[in-house]
Amino acid sequence: MNRTEQTACFEQWMQEHPGIPQKVARSFCAVDADREDLLQEIRVAIWLAIPAYDSRSKVSSYLYRISLNRAISWRRRPQNRSGHLDSLEEHPDMAAAPANHDPRLEIVYHAIRNLPAAERALILLQLDGFSYREIAGTLGLTESNVGVRLNRIRTKLAEQLKGKKP
Amino acid sequence: MSLDEMEQTWNEQQLPSDPAAKPVQKAANSLSRTLLLAWAMLAVMVFALALKVHEVWVEPERTFANSFWNLSIAAASVACGGFGVVWARRFVSEFRTLAHDTVRCLDLLIYNVEWEIRSIRRDLPLMMLGFLILFVLAKGQSISAGFESSVEWNYIWFVLVVFGITGAVMYHRVQAFLRPRLEELRAVRRQFDPTP
């Protein structure tokens, strides 16, 4: 694959699935500046991974796999570890509300960000309508394991969201 | 909030879009039309030049010497059309090269809109004046050579009206389309400026 084909493929993927990198970045970073950094890294990772795509999986699950791997390794770096900037989430200068700010959505993302990284990956894929089989294939788990884990995650989320109102 | 509400909220979320996407996409869509228009204009002008050359070739009373200014108008039109095609092709090529660099892409769009406004305000009147002079010279040459009667001088008014309408259309284009577009592009570009 030459550079032009790679670029065309990248454009097409980003047009067809613009939300995947953004959803993953928002689920891993509370602060806008961090989110932009991660989003940039995810886009670069996707661009570099295009030649390795073998058409056996759906493009959306391939994009999720790259985005989640990049987000998890980004989170592991010492400067980003354990969300040391997340305490600034509520500060208006650090986390300016986007133009299409939805307080209900912020509650959802806040709850997702409180989950461990692997659980975030699972719930993101389920919320975006992936089947257990696809989730298992993307994350390298068994289908039954995905089901068990998702039940636990949903219980955790239900507890977190109880009584939360926008 | 229940899990069902969470899923509903998730599915209704609107993702933030790239602020530059709309103007850049608009420019990309208009590029192919601009290039096509430039090629069409060049084709018409080449055809007009070919007709003039054919006239000189087949009519024995016409010579290069007594049709010089007439041929000059057609040749100048072809030159203008050729310049338009070269400019449009260069712009398209630069734009496609910068497709992944939003900021430079916006800078290029702003530069080109500014250039177009400057051209319409400064170069177009000069070009029209040049064509008017050529037209007067060609008419004079045709009348003195006996191809046309002196009544044909009245066509000067027709040419002046056509040039006037062209100028008005171009002025309207600057005021109604190019200036608002320039402001829109500058506003988007400012969003990419590093905040102090």
The DSSP string of B40-87 is: HHHHHHHHHHHHHHHHHHH-TT--TGGGHHHHHHHHHHHHHHHHHHHH
In this complex, do A165 and B1 lie within 8 Å of one another by their Cβ atoms? Answer: yes
Residue of B nearest to A161 (CA): B1
pLDDT given at position A13: 85
Share of chain B above pLDDT 90, in %: 30
In this complex, do B3 and A7 lie within 8 Å of one another by their Cβ atoms? Answer: no
Average pLDDT over residues A3-24: 82
Residue from A123, A163, A103, A106 nearest B1 by CA: A163
Q: Which residues of A touch B99 (CB under 8 A)?
A: 7, 11
Out of A99, A102, A108, closest to residue B6 by CB: A108
Residue of A nearest to B13 (CA): A105
For residues A118 and B103, the model is more confident at: A118
pLDDT given at position A85: 53
Residue of A nearest to B15 (CA): A19
Residue of B nearest to A11 (CA): B100
Sign of CA dihedral B140, B145, B149, B155: negative
pLDDT given at position B130: 92
User: A111 — contact with chain B (CB < 8 Å)?
Assistant: yes
In this complex, do B1 and A154 lie within 8 Å of one another by their Cβ atoms? Answer: no
Residue A153, pLDDT above cutoff 60: yes
In this complex, do A164 and B1 lie within 8 Å of one another by their Cβ atoms? Answer: yes
For residues A77 and B134, the model is more confident at: B134
Residue A91, pLDDT above cutoff 60: no
Alpha-carbon gap: B91 to the closest alpha carbon of chain A (Å): 19
Residue A5, pLDDT above cutoff 60: yes
Asked if B46 contacts B81 with a C-beta cutoff of 8 angstroms, the reply is yes
In this complex, do B10 and A127 lie within 8 Å of one another by their Cβ atoms? Answer: yes
CA distance B130 to B76: 10
For residues B86 and B195, the model is more confident at: B86
CA distance A84 to A75: 10
> Which H helix or E strand runs over B121?
none
Average pLDDT over residues A150-158: 91
Which residues contact residue B15 at a Cβ distance below 8 angstroms, ignoring those fewer than 6 apart? A18, A19, A22, A23
pLDDT given at position A101: 66
ipTM reported for the complex surpasses 0.90:
no
Confidence of residue B78 (pLDDT cuts 50, 70, 90): very high
Residue B75, pLDDT above cutoff 50: yes
For residues A113 and A76, the model is more confident at: A113
Residue B136, pLDDT above cutoff 50: yes
In this complex, do B16 and A98 lie within 8 Å of one another by their Cβ atoms? Answer: yes
Asked if A134 contacts A125 with a C-beta cutoff of 8 angstroms, the reply is yes
Lowest pLDDT segment from A155-159, B29-33, B87-91: B29-33
Residue B43, pLDDT above cutoff 90: yes
Residue A8, pLDDT above cutoff 80: no
Q: Which residues of B touch A18 (CB under 8 A)?
A: 15, 17
User: A98 — contact with chain B (CB < 8 Å)?
Assistant: yes
Considering chain A, what is the average pLDDT of its residues? 81
Residue A97, pLDDT above cutoff 70: no
Which residues contact residue A79 at a Cβ distance below 8 angstroms, ignoring those fewer than 6 apart? none
Considering chain B, what is the average pLDDT of its residues? 84
Q: Which residues of B touch A99 (CB under 8 A)?
A: 16
CA distance B165 to B171: 10
Average pLDDT over residues B28-39: 81
Confidence of residue A96 (pLDDT cuts 50, 70, 90): very low
